[in-house]
């Protein structure tokens, strides 16, 4: 089921998500909904708080609509190593139409539980490393505009206010 994505600055997006205590069918159903929502919105990642659920779950697919597309679901992800630096122009499904440069680690090692509850460790680079950091930020109540200047953030806040009021007038827009 495709869920509705919250638009920043929704107060839910500022909260810290709670660790998953048991990887059960409810978690697996949520992961399925998160993939459906991410693909429907043409994103490369999605964190549970973006659909209003304060649990530490993220999904990623940095090569959607390619034959070798690799969907990854991470439960309770933890960044255990970060190396190097890189800058990438980021966007966010919760901040539609906006993009700003953000500095992050270039290579990250992430430890997580897969949907079977098995512990996994993955070393990521490129867009996947950026997306993992962007999504783990969401689990800690942070969005990419928290990494840009106050001036840019306040301009984006105004545009999101306008976007929300337009959507209330014309819900299909
Ligand atoms: O779809 C997304 N694209 C993207 C581009 C650059 C850096 C990060 C991202 S993640 C974003 C989806 C999203 O908002 N996930 O929280
Ligand atoms: Ni995002």
Cβ atoms of 138 and 56 within 8 Å: the answer is: no
Residue of the CA atom closest to atom 7 of ligand 1:
90
How many percent of the chain have pLDDT more than 90? Answer: 91
Does 131 contact ligand 1 (Cβ within 6 A)?
Answer: yes
Q: Which of 169, 162, 15 is nearest to 98 (CA)?
A: 162
Helix (H) and strand (E) counts in the chain? 3, 7
Q: Which of 1, 4, 159, 2 is nearest to 93 (CA)?
A: 4
Ligand 1 atom showing the smallest separation from residue 143 Cα: 16
**Which is it for the CA torsion 8, 91, 20, 84, positive or negative?**
negative
Residue of the CA atom closest to atom 16 of ligand 1:
46
pLDDT tens by residue, 59-106 = 999 988 888 888 999 999 999 999 999 999 999 999 999 999 999 999
Q: How far apart are CA 19 and CA 140, in angstroms?
A: 11
Q: What structural domains and CATH numbers belong to the chain?
A: 11-169 (3.90.45.10)
Neighbours of ion ligand 2 (CB under 5 A): 92
Look at residue 64 in the predicted model and tell me its pLDDT.
80
pLDDT tens by residue, 111-123 = 999 999 999 999 9
Name the pTM for this structure. Answer: 0.97
Q: How far apart are CA 5 and CA 11, in angstroms?
A: 13
pLDDT tens by residue, 121-165 = 999 999 999 999 999 999 999 999 999 999 999 999 999 999 999
């Amino acid at each position: 089921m495709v869920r509705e994505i919250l638009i920043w600055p929704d107060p839910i997006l500022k909260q810290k998500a709670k660790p998953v205590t048991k990887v059960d069918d409810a978690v697996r159903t949520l992961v399925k909904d998160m993939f459906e929502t991410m693909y429907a919105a043409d994103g490369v990642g999605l964190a549970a708080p973006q659909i209003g659920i304060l649990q530490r779950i993220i999904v990623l697919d940095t090569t959607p609509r390619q034959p070798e597309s690799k969907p990854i679901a991470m439960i309770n992800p933890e960044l255990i190593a970060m190396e190097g630096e890189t800058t990438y122009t980021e966007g966010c499904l919760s901040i539609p139409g906006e993009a700003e440069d953000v500095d992050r680690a270039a290579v990250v090692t992430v430890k997580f539980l897969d949907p079977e509850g098995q512990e996994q460790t993955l070393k990521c680079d490129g867009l996947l490393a950026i997306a993992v950091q962007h999504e783990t930020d969401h689990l800690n109540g942070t969005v990419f505009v928290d990494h840009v200047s106050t001036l840019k953030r306040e301009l984006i806040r105004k545009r999101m206010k306008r976007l929300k009021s337009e959507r209330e007038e014309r819900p299909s827009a």
